[in-house]
Structures are given as C-alpha cells and as structure tokens.
C-alpha cells in the first residue's frame, strides 16, 4: 500500500520514523525491480560469468600441491579414482597427471607457478570483464532511476512541493539515488563471487574431513556475528548522514537563492551561521557513520587473526591424530584460510547492504508516495462551452482556503478574480489547472469533472503567465517552445502578440540569446513578455494571467498590459490582478474574500453595489472622488 503524499514530509524524513518504515530490504527490491528488469538478461549472463572467478579462486590453491609434495617428501600414494581424492593425496595425484616432463623438482615448481599465474590471470580478466560490463549497466540504471524519480516526483501535487525543501529534494537525486544505483551491482557481484568461492572451498575441505570443515565453518561464521552487530548501526547512521547531507544541501540552495536579501541587509554573518550549523550537523552525522566502518575493519582484522590461530590449532590436532597427512595439513590450513577470507568479505558486503538500505529507505519513501492528483481515463480534446466551479471547498490541512465557491467561465469571455491578499485567488487558479483537487464540490469542463481527464491533455488547453516569470538558463527560443515542436509561424505569431520585436532587435543573437539563471540577464518586463509568448505559442483555449504585471514598473506594466489585451482578443481569459485598473474592461469580475465569492459583475456595477470592491478600488486610487469620476 502506497502512502498518500500528504501523510509524510520526505524532506525531513531522514530523521523521522517515517523513513524507518521503508528501511526493509523488500521495499528497496520493490523499487529496484522494474528498473533492473530491462537488463535482466545481461545481468544474468554476468552473474554466471562471475561464478567462474569464484570457482577458480576456490580451486587455485590445489595447483600448489605438487610443489608442496616435493618439499614435504610425502609417501602418500596418488588417488586411484576421483572419489578417493582428498587434500592428503591431491599432490601426488596431480604430479602423476603432469607426466615425465615435470619429474624433476624444478619442472614441478615451474609448472605449478605457471598454472597458478594463468589461473589468476583468467580470474582477474573475467572479474575485470564483469565489473566493466556491470559499470555500464549501473550507469544506465542510475539514468533510468533519475528519470523515473523525476517523473514520479513531478506527478505529485503542489502540496508535496510546499512541504519539501528544494535542496532536500535535489539531494534525493544527487546523493540517495546515486548511492542506491551505483552500489547495488558491486554488492551483488562481490556476494556471488564470495558465495561460489566459499561453496567450492567448503566442498574440497569436506571431501578431506567433514568434521574439521564443519568446525572451521562454525568458527568463520563469527564474521556474521560482527555483521549483525554493525549492520543495524550502519543502516541507521547512514540514513542519518544522508538526511544531514540533504539538510546541508537545502541550506546551500537557500543561501544562493537569498543572495539579494543577504547582501541588501549586510546579513552575511546570519547566512554563514545557518550554513555552518548545517555543516556541523553534517560533520557529526558523517563522523558517526564513518565510525562504524572504522570500527568494523579492525574488528574483522582481529577476528581473522584469532580464526587463523584457531585453524592452526585444529590442523595441528588433525596432524597429531593422523586425520591429515603433513602435506594435507598444510593445504588444509591454507584452504581453510582461503575459505574464511570470502566469509569475511561477504560479511563486509552485508554491512554495505545495510548502509545501502539506509540510503535506499529515503528513495523508497519518495517512490512510495501516492499522487493526490491521479490521471483520469479520458483525454481532454477542446474547450467548447464553460469551465465551472460548483460548490468547491478546499483547505491546506486545517486551514480553510476556499468555501462553497461557485463560478462559471464561459467560452470567449474574460473574467477577472480580485480580492485582498490571502483571499484564495491563486488557489482558484491552481484548481483551474488541476494542480489541486477540491476537498468537496467539482470543477468541470463543458459539464465533465476535470478529474476525468488525464492531467497532460487537460493542462494543454491552458496558457499561463505567472506573476514570477521563471525562465530556464537557455535561449529565448527554447524558453518559448518549452520542449514543444518548433512551428515557425506560431513562434512568429507568439513573438508578435507578446511585442518582442523591439527587444529582440536590440539583441545580437535575437531568439538565440541565452537569458541566464532564472532569466536574470533580462529585465522584469522582458521576462514577462517571453512568458506571455510562451503561453500564446501553444494556441491555448484558455489564457490565465496570474498578477502578471504586479511586479513591474509603470512603463513596463503598460507595455505588458497592451500585449496581454492583444493576446486575449478572441480568447477565453482568466485574470487575477491586484491592480484593478488592469481589469476594468473584463467581461465580468469576481470579488473573492476569505475564500468566498462576494459578488460577480461588471466594473461599474460592482463599484455601485459591492462595498469590498469599491473599498479596494478607492485604496488604489486614493479617494472616492476618483472612483466617482470614473463612473460618470
């Protein structure tokens, strides 16, 4: 069951119990599975190939047995059949297979050394092949998961973005997702290789002496006790460290975004303290997560030393009690050490897996959020008659925003929405665009509830000019197109409607001029005209103007207002404005206050019949006399 996006704030989930619920391995597997599925054939082949180095490394010590037999002068006879082969007689058996060419000690040593090197070369070559191939898959997996997380996140409602800091969200992509996608293959490759190496080594040792091998496996399993001890610690500390890193990233993003305020108030010290506090918290959390690793490594080194000493004592016991020959005892000791080594490595990998779960839980927490604004089954084709609010109620948490709002926007008319700050104007526009859904009531297009339509098809009916005209750090042309196919006639028409000709003529690169981050290389009026061209380019059925001139100077306001008036000709328009002078010619004006519609009418009518509208008008034009003159 996916949880609703409003039930948890993933921006702070790194330090809350909410992410703990997603720290299970099966949750991470559930998220990874659809992204890994396209590469299952390649990964399956690599897994099979990766078993070969594990088998080679498990068998490699046996090639030294003939040379060891020469040194130790064993009188043990070669095995007559494969079923009789053990570490006690493997040396003489292999020496017999080598033939007369290696009858001399020098020949035996040369053959053993050459075989040992060739096997090592083969194993390392196969490991290099697997790792480089896996790296290619790993990077494609990371690319796919970035795209998937991006699509999922941008399918969530505005409520999610209201509750999540930008830097923390970016950290999900840059840190958490990176950790998950770029670690899973290394853990899997190492685990497969170690498992095969353990299986091959244990099989050889069991053929020699099952009781001694069982005892050694029990001793080696102490590494998994260490894994259990450190695993939970690493998972929680990794999650805390990634949460602190997200908070730090959010602080840096906020610091960059607030540079004008910081410099204007000479508040560099205040900004520095905020970033320093976040960096100190990051230092503390990262230190605790690294401490786990720095304690785990010495613990395993000490454990390896103790296990080697115990294995040596076991081998001595076996030699004294004639359970092993002298040559068999040396090989048994060497191979037992080679058996414990991959057990140690496997234990380390399991701890890394716990760390992966810690970072992955933060990714899972976002993927587990259920969009509040789901797609409907139908595609919206065109706007024919009316867009209607019918008894709409909406609230942010416990705070009511709209209450029993009913309003109809007819095709071809321009309707303006006015009211004091906080009255719910922008929320109504968000309802129109289906960025929010009503808590009660309906918003319908030509009599059909807009929740019936797919989001993309419905929103494609609109062109929007927001108060803050956000531009991407790209060319003017690309900011107008916004990923849509290029149509030169439509582009020229959009530039004409937005009155961009004079501005473009003064730019050497024209439409190919790069506007900088957020369009900072342009003036507010220029940014707003580009935003208007962007809205008009899509040939929308309904044009939405959200206080599009409120942040402009008088000269720019007049230019933009003229351009917007041109754009609205013959089009359905919804206009939100603080400056009532910009909407006096609207077909109808809806007066909104405290989430309710007080009145709907023409400008002159409202001046006479609605006290709130008259009050707002008089505040902007200073005296009631101005209003009286305007109504003559």
Whether residue 11 is predicted with pLDDT greater than 50 in this model: the reply is no
Main-chain dihedrals φ then ψ at residue 410, nearest 5 degrees: -85, 150
d(CA 338, CA 349): 17
For the range 256-265, what are the long-range contacts, defined as Cβ-Cβ under 8 Å and sequence gap of 24 or more?
A: 257/166
Whether residue 460 is predicted with pLDDT greater than 60 in this model: the reply is yes
The whole-number average pLDDT for the span 585-602 is: 89
Alpha helices in 368-419 (DSSP H): none
Whether residue 22 is predicted with pLDDT greater than 60 in this model: the reply is no
- Burial class of residue 296 in the structure, from the number of CB atoms within 10 Å of its CB (0-12 exposed, 13-18 middle, 19+ buried): buried
Walk across the sheet containing 386-396 and list its strands: 399-410, 386-396, 440-445, 448-449
**CB 118 within 8 Å of CB 63:** no
The whole-number average pLDDT for the span 575-592 is: 83
Pairwise pLDDT comparison (90 vs 111), residue with the higher score:
111
d(CA 611, CA 598): 10
Pairwise pLDDT comparison (534 vs 97), residue with the higher score:
534
Window from 29-43, 156-170, 439-453, 513-527 with minimum mean pLDDT = 156-170
d(CA 256, CA 503): 29
What residues have CB less than 8 Å from 313, skipping those under 6 apart? Answer: none
When pLDDT is cut at 50, 70 and 90, the band that residue 408 belongs to is very high
**CB 461 within 8 Å of CB 440:** no
d(CA 274, CA 51): 51
Element housing 330 (H / E):
helix 326-367
Q: Please tell me the predicted confidence (pLDDT) of residue 100.
A: 52
Whether residue 78 is predicted with pLDDT greater than 80 in this model: the reply is no
d(CA 548, CA 424): 17
Whether residue 152 is predicted with pLDDT greater than 60 in this model: the reply is yes
d(CA 430, CA 424): 10
CATH 1.20.1560.10 for domain 25-370, yes or no, is yes
Pairwise pLDDT comparison (83 vs 354), residue with the higher score:
354
What residues have CB less than 8 Å from 11, skipping those under 6 apart? Answer: 163, 164, 165, 168, 169, 246, 250
Neighbours of 205 (CB within 10 A): 23
What DSSP character marks residue 486?
A: P
d(CA 518, CA 471): 5
Element housing 529 (H / E):
helix 524-537
Q: Please tell me the predicted confidence (pLDDT) of residue 122.
A: 93
From the list 368, 343, 355, the residue with the least C-alpha distance to 288 is 355
The whole-number average pLDDT for the span 328-333 is: 85
What residues have CB less than 8 Å from 269, skipping those under 6 apart? Answer: none
Window from 205-214, 288-297, 341-350 with minimum mean pLDDT = 288-297
Percent of the chain with pLDDT over 90: 9
| Average pLDDT of the chain to the nearest whole number | 81
From the list 381, 405, 379, the residue with the least C-alpha distance to 392 is 405
Cα–chain center distance at 159 = 18
Whether residue 248 is predicted with pLDDT greater than 90 in this model: the reply is no
């Amino acid at each position: 069951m996916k949880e609703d996006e409003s039930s948890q704030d993933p921006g702070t989930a790194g330090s809350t119990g909410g992410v703990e619920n997603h720290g299970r391995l099966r949750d991470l597997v559930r998220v990874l599975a659809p992204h890994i599925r396209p590469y299952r054939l390649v990964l399956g082949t690599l897994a099979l190939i990766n078993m070969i180095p594990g088998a080679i490394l498990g068998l490699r010590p046996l090639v030294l047995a003939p040379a060891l037999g020469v040194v130790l002068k064993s009188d043990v006879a070669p095995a007559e059949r494969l079923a009789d082969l053990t570490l006690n007689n493997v040396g003489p058996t292999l020496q017999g297979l080598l033939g007369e060419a290696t009858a001399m000690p020098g020949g035996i040593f040369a053959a053993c050394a050459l075989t040992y090197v060739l096997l090592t070369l083969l194993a390392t070559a196969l490991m290099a092949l697997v790792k480089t191939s896996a790296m290619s898959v790993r990077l494609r997996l990371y690319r796919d998961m970035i795209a998937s997380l991006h699509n999922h996140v941008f399918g969530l409602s505005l409520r999610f973005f209201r509750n999540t800091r930008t830097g923390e969200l970016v950290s999900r992509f840059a840190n958490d997702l990176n950790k998950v996608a770029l670690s899973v293959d290394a853990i899997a490759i190492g685990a497969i290789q170690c498992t095969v190496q353990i299986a091959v080594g244990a099989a050889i040792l069991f053929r020699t002496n099952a009781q001694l091998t069982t005892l050694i496996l029990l001793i080696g399993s102490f590494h998994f006790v260490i894994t259990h001890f450190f695993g939970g610690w690493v998972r929680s500390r990794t999650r805390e460290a990634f949460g602190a890193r997200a908070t730090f990233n959010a602080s840096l993003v906020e610091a960059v975004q607030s540079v004008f305020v910081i410099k204007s108030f000479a508040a560099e010290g205040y900004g520095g303290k905020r970033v320093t506090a976040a960096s100190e918290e990051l230092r503390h959390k990262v230190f605790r997560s690294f401490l786990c690793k720095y304690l785990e490594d010495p613990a395993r080194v000490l454990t390896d030393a103790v296990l080697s000493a115990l294995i040596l004592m076991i081998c001595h016991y076996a030699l004294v009690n004639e359970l092993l020959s002298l040559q068999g005892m040396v090989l048994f000791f060497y191979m037992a050490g080679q058996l414990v080594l991959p057990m140690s490595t496997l234990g380390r990998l399991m701890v890394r897996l716990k760390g992966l779960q810690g970072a992955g839980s933060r990714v899972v927490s976002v993927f587990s959020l259920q969009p509040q604004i789901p797609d409907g089954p139908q595609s919206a084709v065109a706007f024919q008659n009316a867009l209607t609010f019918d008894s709409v109620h909406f609230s942010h948490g416990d705070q009511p925003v709209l209450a029993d709002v009913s309003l109809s926007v007819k095709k071809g008319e321009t309707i303006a929405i006015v009211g004091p700050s906080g009255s719910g104007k922008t929320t109504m526009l968000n309802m129109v665009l289906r960025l929010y859904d009503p808590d009660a009531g309906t918003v319908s297009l030509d009599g059909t509830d807009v929740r019936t339509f797919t989001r993309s098809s419905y929103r494609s009916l609109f062109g929007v000019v927001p108060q803050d005209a956000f531009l991407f750090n790209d060319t003017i042309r690309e900011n107008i197109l916004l990923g849509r196919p290029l149509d030169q006639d439509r582009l020229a028409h959009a530039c004409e409607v937005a009155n961009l000709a004079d501005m473009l003529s003064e730019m050497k690169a024209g439409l190919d001029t790069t506007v900088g981050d957020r369009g900072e290389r342009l003036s507010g009026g220029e940014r707003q005209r580009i935003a208007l061209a962007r809205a008009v380019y899509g040939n929308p059925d309904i044009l939405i103007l959200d206080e599009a001139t409120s942040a402009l100077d008088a000269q720019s306001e007049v230019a933009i207002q003229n351009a917007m008036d041109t754009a609205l000709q013959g089009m359905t328009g919804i206009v939100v404005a603080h400056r009532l002078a910009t909407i006096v010619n609207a077909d109808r004006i809806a007066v909104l206050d405290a989430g309710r519609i007080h009145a709907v009418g023409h400008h002159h009518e409202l001046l006479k019949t609605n006290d709130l509208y008259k009050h707002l008008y008089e505040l902007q034009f200073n005296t009631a006399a101005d209003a009286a003159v305007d109504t003559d």
